[in-house]
Amino acid sequence: MTTYDAIVIGSGITGGWAAKELTEKGLETLVIERGRNVEHRKDYITEHKPNWQFPLRNARLGVGTQSAREYPIQARTGQFHESVKHFFIKDHRNPYVEDKPFTWIQGDQVGGKSLIWGRQVYRWSNLDFEANLRDGHGVDWPIRYADLAPWYSYVERFIGVSGEHLGLAHLPDGEFQPPMEMNAGEKFVKAGLERAFPGRRLTIGRVAILTQAVNGRLPCHYCGPCERGCSTGSYFSSQSSTLPAARATGRLTIVPDSVVHSLIYDAAKNRVTGVRVVDTTTKQTRDYSARLIFLCASTLATTRVLLTSKSPRFPDGLANSSGALGRYLMDHHFVVGANGAIEGLLDRYYQGNRPNGIYIPRFRNLGDDASRRGDYVRGFGYQGGASRQGWTRGGSEAGFGVELKRKLHDPGRWTMGLTGFGECLPRADNQVQLADQTDEFGIPLLRIHCTWGENELAMRKDMAASAAEMLEAAGCQEVQTRDAYKEGELGAEPGLGIHEMGTARMGRDPRTSVLNAHNQAHDVPNLFVTDGACMASSSCVNPSITYMALTARACDYAVGELKRGNL
């Protein structure tokens, strides 16, 4: 058996960070990844391919289409296009059982979902870290914003985040590079909205895309299709950022095509001593050992490994003396908001394809009377943007022949859309368990049970109504609300937000939580979980930068403990 100082399971956003931090702190580190290797630049096989060179012109591949037949789950997200399908898992490689619709989007390759993520990054605040304590849903977070603030800064400086300082306590500013510019339509809506609602702000998205060079990575040149990979390294991915840093130490080993089956636990020492891996090509098993294990396989995959790792001491899954493992699954609920048209500004356009939109920070339930809602707790923010209609509008416009063609040479009018992302409460009955079936590697499948509750459904009504109210107040025309949620159907089901989190939550009390304030398992000191599984609540902002900050902080603590002889 090969032995390392540390093993990191998963090479996506959190695994890449763990690899960088642990190797830079002197540990010989093995990263185990279930997917294939993806080499920066060389393997971005569609990066510069024009849409017209794809057989279906880079169409979205929908559920039930011939092109998506191996991806019946992945095809549920609107991000699943012809040009990027090789960065999504073929669903038969990792099936699961869904009691009610739950969409599990996965990127099984070196780099994980860091290659295809949307790159929106917002710090959490004490409004989030104190939320459970304040309204009694879930357990209190064992940390506060002050614990994580220096780690957010540390992460932001390394990954590069462009954005605007707003001075809002509930959406803390960070170490920002210069913001991208809003277009004319967005500036129009911003002016009207902030005039009509003095407490609300509309800002350019805070995004892990460079506007200034960092560590040999170049500023973004606005080509647009980031999800195909970026040879200039302008957006943060494991490939562009963390894995090269880890590799530069000379202490990194990555084994792709190797799925972790379970962790090996030594009851006499009360330590995990290694991992059992199945080679995804040969189906042979092999073991690796280490003094420290970081689980970074993404929320549900991580919890699956823990649930599968049963022993007489932990018959219900490793580090699960609390019984909380698998419970309190959350995601952001979205696909709800409003759209409107903007009259005029027809002499204004934009250059290039800015890979970013706008953001409207949360303005509900901020702790003061003015923002308090009686019908739900927590809150939501909006992402969106303005653009001018293109020639495809011809499909729904009246007219024909030369006259219509001539008209379509020019851009159409401006439209503006707002889509809400809402916080989801941690509920014990939203949970994952092991199913009776196993996959092709002999690993038990996950059974996922997750639904939106009354709080989320009440919030959605406000998300649609407030979006319309703001667009109208800003001067937009023909404003229409939309909400894709239908109970038991696809469209706005849990999981579709791709911000799944919880199921191995942090907490102060080992009787009710799996991890302590340093992402260390209460039950097993040399086991750390730093992906979304650790989350005790969900906030309404995109979560990945919080996972990164928690990972860097946990690595610092773990290496300290190792050196102090406590692990």
Ligand X SMILES: Cc1cc2nc3c(=O)[nH]c(=O)nc-3n(C[C@H](O)[C@H](O)[C@H](O)COP(=O)(O)OP(=O)(O)OC[C@H]3O[C@@H](n4cnc5c(N)ncnc54)[C@H](O)[C@@H]3O)c2cc1C
* Positions that interact with ligand SF4 (CB under 6 A): 209, 220-224, 226, 230, 232, 234-235, 355
Residue 230 binds which entry of ligand X, ligand SF4, none, CB below 5-8 Å type-dependent? ligand SF4
Shortest Å distance, C-beta 252 to ligand SF4: 24
Residue 9 binds which entry of ligand SF4, ligand X, none, CB below 5-8 Å type-dependent? ligand X
Nearest CB to ligand SF4, comparing residues 119 and 427: 119
Residue 223 binds which entry of ligand SF4, ligand X, none, CB below 5-8 Å type-dependent? ligand SF4
- What the block records as the tokens of 242 is 């963390």
Q: Where is 477: in which H helix or E strand? A: strand 477-483
Nearest CB to ligand X, comparing residues 384 and 532: 532
Nearest CB to ligand SF4, comparing residues 226 and 425: 226
Shortest Å distance, C-beta 140 to ligand X: 23
Nearest CB to ligand SF4, comparing residues 162 and 419: 162
Residue found by looking up tokens 């609107």 in the block:
78
Cβ distance 35 to 110 under 8 Å? yes
Q: Which residues of 52-69 are buried (b: 16+ CB within 10 A; e: fewer)?
A: eeeeeebeebeeeeeebe
Shortest Å distance, C-beta 380 to ligand X: 15
* C-beta atoms surrounding 295 within 10 Å: 33
Residue 264 binds which entry of ligand X, ligand SF4, none, CB below 5-8 Å type-dependent? none
Residue 291 binds which entry of ligand X, ligand SF4, none, CB below 5-8 Å type-dependent? none
Nearest CB to ligand SF4, comparing residues 34 and 206: 206
Shortest Å distance, C-beta 179 to ligand SF4: 15
3-state helix, strand, coil in the chain (%, to 5): 25, 20, 50
Q: How long is the chain?
A: 567
Nearest CB to ligand X, comparing residues 18 and 468: 18
* C-beta atoms surrounding 465 within 10 Å: 12
Cα(486)–Cα(211) distance, integer angstroms: 40
Query: How is the beta sheet containing 358-360 ordered, strand by strand?
Result: 203-204, 358-360, 380-388, 414-422, 336-342, 477-483
Residue 226 binds which entry of ligand SF4, ligand X, none, CB below 5-8 Å type-dependent? ligand SF4
Cα(340)–Cα(160) distance, integer angstroms: 33
CA angle 431, 435, 438 (to 5 degrees): 135
Cβ distance 114 to 16 under 8 Å? yes
Which residue of the chain is nearest ligand X when measured via CB? Answer: 12
Binding site for ligand X (CB under 6 A): 9-15, 32-35, 79, 105, 107-108, 112-114, 116-120, 259-260, 296-298, 301, 305, 498-499, 531-532, 542-544, 547
Residue 222 binds which entry of ligand SF4, ligand X, none, CB below 5-8 Å type-dependent? ligand SF4
